[in-house]
Structure 1
Amino acid sequence: MGRSGMRSTLCGVAMAGLPTSMHEVPATWSARVVLNSAHDAAMLARVAGHYGLAAGSESGDRHEVAVVELGAHALTALRNAGVAVEVDEMETARIARFQAQQGPSHASPSTPSRSQRSAVPNAFHSVSACYRGVSRIQTDMEELERHYPQLARVTLVGQTWSQRQATTLRDLATRVLPARWAAALPDRFGRGRRYGIVALVLGNRMALRRRAMPRMVITAGLHARELASSEAAMRFAEWLVRGYGQDATATWLLDHNEFHFVVHANPDGRAMAEQGVLARGGGWRKNLNVVDGHCSTSPVDSGVDLNRNFVHGWGGNSPHASSNDPCDETYRGPAPLSEPESQALTQYIAGIRGDDGEYHGGVLRDLRAERNDGDGSNVMRADYPGPADYPGLYVDLHSFGGWILWPDGGGGVSALAQRMAWHTRYRATQRLHYPVEGESTAMFRAALGVPALVVELAKSFYEPCYEFQRTTLPPALDALRYAARTLRAPRMLARGPDVTSVRLSAARVRQGEVVTIAATLDGDRYRYDRGLRGQPAVPRNLPRRVLTAHASVRVMPDDASVRPIALRVIERRGAAAEVSGTLDTTHLPAGRHLVFVQGVGWGGVRGAPDAVFLDIAP
C-alpha cells in the first residue's frame, strides 16, 4: 500500500471513536498480518526484531495470520514491504481509549493542569483497576507475610538500574520525556518502593526444614507494559496462600514444594508504564537504562530489553532476534547481563557460575547431566541436558498472544506445554513467527537443565479488566495449578494420566471406619499444535491409557517410604477411567489428613497426583 492508502487508513481509524487527544493518529494499532509467503514471514520477523511485537495467531487453510499490536512505524514498514496488513479499527479505538485514561502522556499537549498532575498517582482507573502496580503488589506481599508467617516471606532479589544510579525515577524520567510530560509526574514518583526487585517465597516452613523441596520459579513483567503477566502471577500466589488449609490442592502443594514469585521483574519500567508513558508503538517495554540505552532520536524509546539481555544466545546469529540499536524495542544492551535486573535474576535463580562451569547458590539447582569437558572454557554450553526427573520448573509469564512456548533444546517439556495448552486453549509450540535470543527461559534451561516454559497470556497488552478476569485468568490459573502438581518431575509426570478429581465416600469419619476412594483419571488432555509453518515439527504426545492408580495418606503414592493402596479401574471412557478402592482408618491418628491419588499409564508412566481432605475423629 502506498502513502495515500496509508493516510486513508489512518483517517478511517481516527474516525472510529478515537479520543481527540490522540491527535487523530493512534499510538498503538491492532492489526492482522496475513502471512501468505516466506517473504511475509521474514518481513514480520524483521519488524519484530526492531519493534518487539507480540503476536497471537489465527490459522488458515493456506496461510498463517498473526494478530499484532504495533506502532505506526512498524505498520508502515510492513505495508511498504508489501505485506497484507488488516487494521482492526474497533480494537484500535478501544486500545486508544484505554491508553488515554492511564496518565499524562495522552493528555492535552499543553501544560497539565493541577487536577491532571494530582491524578497521576492513581493513573490506573476503572478500565485497568485489576492490574496492581509495583507499590501495591509489594504492599500486598508484605500483608501476606504478616498474616501467614509460616507460609510466606518477602525477600530481596536485587537492585534496578535507577537504584544503581542512586537517584529517583522522576529525575531519570525528565531525561527521556518531553517537558510537558515530565512536568506532570508527581514529585514522589518512584519513591514509594521500599525494595528493588523482590520475590514472594511460599511454602510450609515446618515441612521445608525436614527435606529439600522441588521448586517452582515464576517471573513476570520483564516487559513493563505487559500488565496481565504480573497480575496473573500474583493471583496464583494468593490462591496458594489463602487456600492453605481450605483447599486440599493448595495445601499439599505448599507442604511438598516451594514457590518463588518475582511478580515485577522490571519495576523501573513498570513504574513508567503505570504513568501512561508510551514509547513507540505501545507502553513502556524496556528498563530505564537511559545511558547505555539512550535513544537520541526518540528519548521515550530509551532502555534495554531485559528479555534479550541474558547470556544464552545473546547477540547470536539471527539478524532479527534482537537489536544493537538503542532506539529499537528489542535492544539487547552493550553486553550479556549488562543490566542490574538481569544480573539479579540470574544470581537469584541460578546462582554464581564457578570455575568448573557449574552454577552454585541459586534457587534452582544445576543438574545438567554432563559437565564442563575440562578445557577451562567459560562459554555457555546449550547441549547439557537436565535429567528427565529434574525436580522443579521455571515459568516466565508474558503477554500477549495465547502461546505456551519452550526454548530450543527444551529437554522434553512439550508434554507439559500441551497439557497446559489444554487448560488455556492456547497454542503450544517451540517458536513464534520471529526468533528471540538472550531470553530468560533459554538461559536457565541451558545453565541448569531445568524445564522452562514461556506463557503468553491475554489477547492484548491492554486487555480490559472484565475480559482479563472472566476469560484470561481462570484458565491460566488452572494451567499453573496443573504445572505445580508436576513439580516432582515435570518432564515425566506430564506424560502420565492426570487425576482430574478425587472423591471420598465420607469426608469425616470415626477412627476405624472404612472409606471408599474414587477418582477420575484422564490419559489425554493434550492440546496438540503442529507448530507454525516453516518451524520445526512439534512432538505429539499421544493419549496414554490408564493402567491402574495408587492412593496414599499424608505422603505421595510414589514415595519410597509408603506402601500405596491399589485402586482398580471400574470404568473406561477412551483414555479416561474411573478408579476405586478402600482405605481402612484403624491405624490413622485423629485429625485432618491428605489422601493422595496418582494414576499410572501403560509402560508404568505415572501422572500428576492430586489430593482431598479426610478428617478422622477419635
Structure 2
Amino acid sequence: MFRPFLAGVLALATMECFATEWYVEARYDDPAALRRVGGLFTHVTVDEKARVLRVDTDDDGIRLLEQAGMHVSVDMVRTAELRALAAPPGDLRSIPQFACYRTVEETRTDAEALVAAYPELASIESLGPTWERDNGPGAGYDMYALRITRHDTLADNPERPRMVVLASIHAREYAPAELVTRFAEGLLDGYGRDPQATWLVDHVDFRLVLHANPDGRKKAEAGVLWRKNTNTTNGTSCGTPSSNNHAGIDLNRNWPFHWNTAPGGSSGAACNAVYRGPTPASEPETQNLIRYVAGTPGPDGAFVGGALPDRKDDAVTVAAPDDYKGLFFDIHSYAGLVLWPWGDTLTVSPNGEALQTLGRRIAWFNGYTPQRASQLYATDGGTIDLVYGQLGAPAYVMEIGTEFFQPCSSFENTILPVNLQALRFAARTAEAPYRLGKGPDVHSLAVEYAVEPGEDAVIRATIDDTRFRQTSAAQPTFAITSAHAYVGRLPWQTDGGVTAFEPVDGAYNSTQERVMARVPMNGLAPGRHLVYVQGVNASGGGTAGAPDAVYVQVLESGDRIFRDGLEIAPD
C-alpha cells in the first residue's frame, strides 16, 4: 500500500516507535536523476524499465529525492515491517525473530565445531582484532577466516586456486554471514559423498570470512539498522536505532584503492551511513581484511603474502592475465545484483568483458541482475575495486535477497538454495575464471550403473552455453564443439585417461548438447572414482568451460549387480 509522503507521515504519526525511517518508492522521468541520488543512499533497488527507485531512508533522504525531481511515495506496509523489526530486543542469546541466523558467537562456535569434525579439511586462521578489541581488552572480537581445503595434499599442490569470500561487512545484513556459513557446511558435510563438494575441497583453497564486521553485527543483532563498524572516535551521537546514521566507519568505503575518488561515492561526514573514515584503511577491520586477502605492499608496490596473488602490472589500464587463479566475493544484502568493478567510474575495466561474462553466468543461478557496480551508483573505497585493481583477481559483490533483516522463510526457501548454487559454480571456475567463464557449463551428469572391474562406465551429461542471465545487452552464445571425460584428474592435470563424448543427436551444432560416452575404467581398484567432465564451445576457436564431476562405482569381483531392477550374473 503506497501513499504520498505527507499522507504517510500523518498515517504513521500515531505509531508507537522511535524510528525516523521510511520505505519509499521514488519515480523519475530523467535517468540523470538516478545518477544524481544513487550514491547518497546505502541501498537502493532500481527498476530501470519502470524508472522506479526503492529505498529505506529518513526524512532528509526523502527531501533529497524530491529535490532531484523524483515523485516520492511511502510503502506503508514495508515501513511498518521495518519499524517492527527494529523494536527493542528481548533475549539476545539468538537474533530475536530470526532463528535461522546465527549470532556472532554462535557462528564462531559452529566454525570451531567444523574444524574439530574435519581437522584434515578445515582450520581457523586469525586476522586480528576489531576496533573495539583493539581499544579495550575483553571488548569486541578477534576476526578470523574459516579455511577449507584438503590439507594433506597442499604440499604437492601449493598453487591451487584460492576463493576468498567476505560476508556481512555491513552489519545489519543478516543473510550473507549465514549463507557463507551454510556454504562452508555444505562443502565439509558433503566431502566424500557429494562428488562436486569433494572435488572442490580437493582442488580449491576456500578462505571464508564469516563475519567481516563482528562489532557492528553485534549491534545489528539487537534489531538496530547498524551498518558501519563501531569506532566512536569521530562521533558518538548519530541517529536512532532504526535510522541509517550511526557512529562508525563504513568498512566498504574505507579500502585505500580508489578512496574518495567519486562524487557521491562516499561521505566525509562522520554520521553519514557511507562515511569513509578520516584516512584510507583507517580501521583495524579494513587493515585485517586487506592483509589477509591481498597481503602487504613491498618496495615496488606489489602485494605479497595474501590469499590472492598480485598479478596486475598497472592497477588501472592493463588487463590481468587471463590465466589468473582464484577469485573474490563480497556478499551483501539486499538488491538482487551481481556486481563487478569499477565502482567509482563508468569506464569499463581492462578485464571488463571477461568479468561481465562470468558475472552473467553466476547470475544465471540466482536470477539477479548482473552489471558493473558503477551502473547502480558510484562507490569508492570498496572491496572489489582494490582486489581487482591492485591484484587483478576477478572480484564480485553479490547483493542477495530483498531486505536487511531478511525473513527466515524467504531466506531458507528462496535465497539460500540459489546462492549456494551460484557460489558452487563460481568455485568450479577458480582455476582460471577469466577463461573458464567464457566456456560452456556442464550439468545433469549421470552414470547409468556401477561397473565391474575392466568394464566401461556409461556417462551422460548436458553441455550448455546458454546459462547466462541475459540483460538488455544480450550475451553471445556459441555452439558446442566437444566434450571430454577425465578419469581421476582435472582437465588441466597431466596424468589419467581422456574419453571424448558423442552428441546424442549425432552432431555438435547447438548451444545445448546432450552427450554420452563409454569411459574405460580398467585398472582401477574397487570403490568410487571421480570422473571429471568438461565441454568446449566455438568461441575464440574453442573455449573450455567450468568442469564438474561424478562418482563411478567400480565393484568388487563377484559382487551382485542389478540393472533396471534385474540381477545380472557376473562373468
Q: TM-score, normalised by structure 1?
A: 0.83
- How many Å apart are 1:486 and its aligned residue? 0.6
SS in 2 for 1:308: coil
Which whole-Å CA distance do the structure 1 matches of 2:185 and 2:16 have between them?
A: 38
Query: Do structure 1's residue 482 and structure 2's residue 429 form an aligned pair?
Result: no
Task: Assess, with a 3 A threshold, how the Cα gap between structure 1 residues 128 and 296 changes in structure 2: closer, same or farther.
Answer: closer
1:492/1:82 Cα in 2 relative to 1: closer, same or farther (>3 Å)?
same
What 5-or-longer segments of structure 2 have no aligned partner?
343-348, 557-571
Partner of 1:109: none
Partner residue of 1:597?
533
Give the percent of matched residue pairs that are identical in Structure 1 and Structure 2: 36
Distance 1:517 1:234, change over 3 A: same
C-alpha separation between the residues in 2 aligned to 1:5 and 1:428? Answer: 32
* Alpha carbons 2:318, 2:350 under 8 Å: kept: no
Paired with 1:544 and 1:297, the residues of 2 have a C-alpha distance of 54
Q: Which residue of 2 aligns with 1:160?
A: 130
AA at the equivalent of 1:94: E
Matched, 1:470 2:413: yes
Distance 2:330 2:358 in 1: 14
| Alpha-carbon separation, structure 2, partners of 1:150 and 1:327 | 46
CA deviation vs aligned residue, 1:573-616 (integer Å, no higher than 9, x gap):
94110111112222112222101100011122001111111121
In structure 2, distance between residues paired with 1:42 and 1:233: 32
- The residue type paired with residue 312 of structure 1 is F
Contact kept in structure 2, 1:401 and 1:457, CA below 8 Å: yes
For residue 358 of structure 1, report the CA deviation from its aligned partner.
1.0
Matching residue of 2:117: 147
Partner-residue secondary structure (3-state), 2:454: coil
2:310 aligned residue: 366
SS in 2 for 1:76: helix
Match of 1:21 in 2: 16
Q: 1:382 aligns with which of 295, 306, 316?
A: 316
Q: Distance in 2 between matches of 1:550 and 1:604?
A: 13
Offset, 1:551? 0.3
Distance 2:132 2:516 in 1: 59
* Cα distance in 2 between the residues matched to 1:346 and 1:463: 28
Distance 1:12 1:249 in 2: 53
Displacement after TM superposition at 1:213 (Å):
0.7
SS of equivalent residue, structure 2 residue 154: helix
Q: Indicate the residue corresponding to 1:313 in structure 2.
A: 258
Aligned to 2:288: 344
Offset of residue 302 of structure 1: 1.0
Equivalent residue number for residue 129 of structure 1: 99
396, 408, 421: which one aligns with 2:363: 421
Instruction: Return the match for 2:59 from 72, 92, 109.
Output: 72
CA distance in 2, matches of 1:583, 1:574: 23
Aligned partner of residue 92 in structure 1, secondary structure: helix
In structure 1, stretches of 5+ residues that fail to align are 104-118, 170-189, 372-380, 531-537
State the 1:433 CA deviation: 3.2
Deviates most, 6-15 or 559-568: 6-15
Please state how far the C-alpha of 1:40 moved relative to its aligned partner: 2.2
Residue equivalent to 2:10: 11
Instruction: Work out the number of aligned pairs and report it.
Output: 536
Residues 147, 296 of structure 1: alpha-carbon distance in 2 compared, 3 angstrom cutoff? closer
Contact 2:316 2:350 in 1 (8 A): no
Give the TM-score, by structure 2 length.
0.90
User: What is the deviation of 1:43?
Assistant: 3.9
1:400 touches 1:461 (CA, 8 Å); kept in 2? yes
- Give 1:393 deviation, angstroms: 0.5
**Are 2:181 and 2:210, in contact at CA under 8 Å, matched by a contact in 1?**
yes
Among 148, 156, 161, the alignment partner of 1:202 is 148
Between the aligned partners of 2:193 and 2:82, the Cα distance in structure 1 is 39
**SS class of match (2:536):** strand
Q: CA shift at 1:296, angstroms?
A: 5.1
Task: Give the structure 2 partner of residue 324 of structure 1.
Answer: 268
The 3-state SS of whatever aligns with 2:33 is helix
What is the CA-CA distance between 1:99 and the residue it aligns to? 1.9
CA contact (8 A) 1:207 1:256 kept: no
Change (3 A) 1:428 1:10: same
Which runs of structure 1 show a deviation greater than 4 angstroms over 4 or more consecutive aligned residues? 295-300
Note if 1:233 corresponds to 2:180: yes
- Per-residue deviation, residues 361-389 of structure 1 (Å, max 9, x unmatched): 11111122x36xxxxxxxxx323432111
SS in 2 for 1:128: coil
Q: Following the alignment from structure 1 to structure 2, what is the Cα–Cα distance between the partners of residues 614 and 340?
A: 49
Confirm or deny: 8 A CA contact 2:127 2:289 kept in the other structure.
yes
Tell me, what secondary structure is at the counterpart of 1:31? Answer: strand
Offset from partner CA, 1:439-487 (integer Å, 9 cap, x none)? 0010011111101011000011122110111111111111111111111
1:533 paired residue number: none
Distance in 1 separating the partners of 2:161 and 2:310: 13
- 1:111 matched residue in structure 2: none
Query: What's the offset of the Cα at 1:541?
Result: 3.0
Higher mean C-alpha deviation, range 590-599 or range 397-406? 590-599
- Paired with 1:552 and 1:158, the residues of 2 have a C-alpha distance of 42
Classify 1:328/1:410 alpha carbon distance in 2 versus 1 (closer, same or farther; 3 Å): farther
The one-letter code sitting in structure 1 at the alignment partner of 2:325 is P
Asked if the contact 1:309/1:439 (under 8 Å) is kept, the reply is yes
1:407 alignment counterpart: 341
Q: Which secondary structure does the structure 2 equivalent of 1:153 belong to?
A: strand
* Greater helix content: 1
User: Are positions 1:397 and 2:331 aligned together?
Assistant: yes
SS, match of residue 252 in structure 2: helix
2:483 to 549, 556, 572: 549
1:455 and 2:398 are equivalent in the alignment = yes
Q: Deviations over 1:386-414 (max 9, x none)?
A: 21111100010011000100012162211
Deviations 1:526-573 (A, max 9, x none): 11223xxxxxxx6x5311211110101111123233442111112379
Which AA in structure 2 matches 1:249? Answer: Q
Give the 3-state SS of the residue equivalent to 1:210 in structure 2: coil
Deviation at 1:75, TM superposition (A): 2.1
Is the CA contact 2:191–2:198 (under 8 Å) kept in the aligned structure 1?
yes
> In structure 2, what residue type is equivalent to 1:201?
R
The one of 282, 286, 294 aligned to 2:228: 286
Give the match's secondary structure for 2:163: strand
Aligned residue for 1:334? 278
Instruction: Go from structure 1 to structure 2 and tell me whether the alpha carbon gap of 1:139 and 1:550 turns closer, same or farther (over 3 Å shift).
Output: same
Which range moved further: 203-212 or 238-247? 203-212
Q: Secondary structure at the match of 1:301?
A: coil
Mapped partners of 1:353, 1:488: distance in 2: 24
The CA distance in 2 between the partners of 1:432 and 1:197, in whole Å, is: 32
- Letter paired with 1:198: Y
Return the offset for 1:67.
Answer: 2.1
Aligned to 1:35: 28
In 2, Cα distance between equivalents of 1:132 and 1:27: 28
Distance 2:476 2:437 in 1: 12
Matched letter for residue 10 of structure 2:
C
CA contact (8 A) 2:441 2:535 kept: yes
* Residue 614 of structure 1: aligned partner: 552
**8 Å Cα contact 2:228/2:249 also seen in 1:** yes
